[in-house]
Amino acid sequence: MPEQVTIPISFFEYAADFEVPLMRLWMDRVPIVQAVFNALRPWNVLLDNVEAVTAGKPSEQGVNIKLPVHRSSFFFGPAGCKFVKEAADWASAEEIIRLVQTAREALLASSGGVISVQRTAISLHAQLKEKEFIDVLKRFISPSIAGLHDERMTAAATIIRWQKHRLVLDSSASVANALFVRLERDFDAGVQLEEMASELRKDEEVVFKLLDIEEVVS
């Protein structure tokens, strides 16, 4: 039987890069900010939730709009946009998709931006009920490495990168006796958010099966 886990911390990230940097999103962006703000009004956005990001390189500067009630934020600048959702779960997937679509479409329509690639990530901290986290992680370490020393292993991590995927398995630095799992996946510009969600859920299911864990949903 799979090990039962709870997930007290989780994040979903969506990012889109523009084919060509949009300088107006760095220098003259007021009409675009207004368009995105208006589009997000159904999610209770306020003026005080809008902040200009002026630190860092030009590609890192832009505007960040926070949606505190929904524990989300939408950032956009010359290089692209990024959406982050805290406490993300599959029960809220439909609402997340609607929010991202609304913000992204308002941004593209008002700026003339064209997306080149879309990037997604799921990060979660899975707290184990019975097993110790190291007993799950050490199975992915080669015997030759694990056998270098006789004492008990206390930490282990696996990071694998493919052309369009990345997987991180580690111990959680935030939750006691928990695994940190991060799944990253790139998509072409034309892939719809619903299709992304379906593929991401499959990715999560495969990794959970590999780890032999199962989420307990209250």
Final residue belonging to a domain, choices 53, 78, 113: 113
Please give the single-letter amino acid code of residue 141: I
- 178's CB contacts (< 8 A; 6+ apart) are 5, 8, 125, 126, 127, 128, 133, 171, 172
User: Same structural domain for residues 131 and 184?
Assistant: yes
Residues 103 and 190 in one domain: no
Statement to judge: residues 128 and 211 lie in one domain: yes
Q: Which of 98, 113, 128 is the last residue of a domain?
A: 113
Among residues 171, 167, 213, 150, the alpha carbon closest in space to that of 6 is found at 213
Q: Are residues 53 and 124 in the same domain?
A: no
Q: 120 pLDDT band (50/70/90 cuts)?
A: very high
What is d(CA 110, CA 209) in angstroms, rounded to the nearest whole number? 43
Q: Are strands 3-18 and 213-215 parallel, antiparallel or unpaired?
A: parallel
Rounded to whole angstroms, the Cα distance separating 168 from 51 reads 32
Q: How many domains does one find in the chain?
A: 2
Angle, helices 30-39 vs 93-111, to 10°: value is 150
Asked whether residue 178 falls in the same domain as residue 96, the answer is no
Section 102-111 average pLDDT: 97
101 shares a domain with 36: yes
User: What tens digit of pLDDT does each residue of 122-165 get?
Assistant: 999 999 999 999 999 998 888 888 888 988 888 889 999 999 99
Both 89 and 139 in one domain: the answer is: no
Question: CB–CB of 21/59 below 8 Å?
Answer: yes
Helix (H) or strand (E) holding 194: helix 193-211
Backbone angles phi, psi at 202, to 5 degrees: -60, -45
Q: Where are the alpha helices (DSSP H) in 59-192?
A: 93-111, 133-137, 143-146
Same domain (yes/no): 135, 205 = yes
Do residues 16 and 101 lie in contact, with contact meaning Cβ atoms separated by under 8 Å?
A: no
Based on the domain organization, do 131 and 183 belong to the same domain? Answer: yes
Q: Which residue has the higher pLDDT, 184 or 144?
A: 184
Tell me the residue range of the domain where 53 lies: 20-113
Quick one: pLDDT at residue 142? Answer: 86
- Give the model confidence (pLDDT) of 23-67 as tens digits: 988 878 899 999 999 999 999 999 999 999 999 998 899 999 999
State whether 136 and 217 are in the same domain: yes
- CATH number where 192 lies: 3.30.310
Identity of the amino acid at 167: L
**Residues 104 and 151 occupy one common structural domain:** no
pLDDT, position 101: 97
Q: Tell me the two tokens of residue 196.
A: 């992304």
* Final residue of a structural domain among 59, 80, 113: 113
Reported as a pLDDT band with limits 50, 70 and 90, residue 1 is: confident
What is the structure's pLDDT at 7? 97
pTM, 2 dp: 0.93
Integer angstrom CA distances of residue 87 from 7, 16, 105, 168, 183: 9, 21, 24, 19, 16
Please tell me the predicted confidence (pLDDT) of residue 211.
Answer: 96
Give pLDDT tens digits for 73-82: 999 999 999 9
Burial per residue of 128-158, b for 16 or more beta-carbon CB atoms within 10 angstroms, e otherwise:
beeeebbebbbeeeeeeeeeeeeeeeeebee
What integer is the mean pLDDT of 85-104? 96
Judge if 140 and 211 occupy the same domain: yes
| Residue 55: exposure state from Cβ atoms within 10 A (0-12, 13-18, ≥19) | exposed
